[in-house]
Chains A and B, each alone.
Chain A
Amino acid sequence: MTWDGNVARGAGRISGDTGAFTDLPFSLPARIGRVEGKTSPEELLASAHAGCLGMGLASELANPDARVEVRTTIRMDEVDGKGHQIVASTVAIRGRVPGLSAEEWQEKVAAADAGCPFSTLLKNAGVEVTVNAELEEGT
């Protein structure tokens, strides 16, 4: 990525090695205030966390007919004496898994969270990770 100028008024552009995303614009105002159509490190981390948990849960379920939706929200806040910190990742999961009981579903979700390396990193850094998972009825 490249950054031009100072943090408050400058702006950057970001690209990934695979070319899946190129020249995404981002800036500090986009990061700490209204988004103005620019991404931020936290939005990228939310995408990473949702991807990690979605894959982890697919691995635990091992069911070709399973469908899971993961929504992750990363919160950054100013913490007294510590400046800006990532304080929370709130995860909402919905699943449609033929033949799975509600109890098994919760066990699989817990195992996916425990097995997701990024979840573990966040928790070890003091980030509050909250996971709520619903299994769709009649599946």
Chain B
Amino acid sequence: MATDRRAEVTWNGSLTEGSGRITSTTTGKVGEQDVSWAARSSDNAELTSPEELIAAAHAACFSMALSNGLAEEGNAPDELRTSATVTFQPGEGITKIALTVEGRVPGLEEDAFRQAAEDAKQNCPVSKALAGVPEITLDAKLAG
């Protein structure tokens, strides 16, 4: 079935002097969030940004796809800890996404885990929507 997820943003004023707020989403779980250009384009981020939300979306999507792939082979994970770091270059856009995942998967070899993670990186819906990002890296390992 098709699913729709909605978000609303209000912006007041110019880009650099003004500010915006995510006011509403389908579930409300994202919550009201202020956004600004300064927070988006500097390292001193105190507010969220489109890129942080994309990072959250990608980490979540990848984790779901990986858990599904592992379970289909009879190796449902106990836990996956995933991070996604989205690099934003003003004037260029999103230049890189770095995915890392550490899994606790009983009975699985490291190589098989890496392969499953690579498949999830290629095939999760958010990865496909972000396929135009110049560089998407993956570091996958089992928890020691």
Contact = CB atoms under 8 A, between A and B. Distances in A.
B40 interface: yes
Contacts of B144: none
B107 interface: no
B56 A21 contact: yes
Interface string A4-46: 1111101010111110110011101011110101111111111
How many B residues touch the partner, as a band? 35 or more
Contacts of A46: 5-7, 25-26
B5 A42 contact: yes
Contact of B5 (A2, A28, A40): A40
A84 B131 CA distance: 15
Contact of A44 (B57, B93, B132): B57
A32 B3 contact: yes
A102 to B, nearest CB: 19
B126 A21 contact: no
A5 B79 CA distance: 6
A57 to B, nearest CB: 7
B110 interface: no
Interface string A40-63: 111111111111111101110111
B20 A18 contact: no
- Which of B11, B35, B70: most chain A Cβ within 10 A? B11
A27 B10 CA distance: 28
B17 interface: yes
A16 B126 contact: no
B50 A7 contact: no
Contact of A86 (B12, B31, B79, B129): B129
A127 interface: yes
- Shortest beta-carbon contacts, A-B, top 5: A117-B93, A7-B68, A20-B48, A59-B15, A46-B7
Given A54-B35, A72-B7, 20 more contacts: A1-B56, A1-B81, A1-B82, A2-B63, A5-B67, A6-B71, A18-B47, A21-B31, A35-B27, A40-B60, A42-B5, A46-B6, A50-B7, A55-B50, A74-B4, A121-B94, A121-B130, A125-B129, A125-B130, A125-B131
7 contacts: A2-B79, A4-B79, A12-B60, A16-B52, A18-B47, A55-B35, A69-B11
Interface of B: 1-15, 17-18, 20, 22, 25-31, 33, 35, 37, 39-40, 45-61, 63-68, 70-71, 76-83, 88, 92-94, 123, 125-126, 128-133
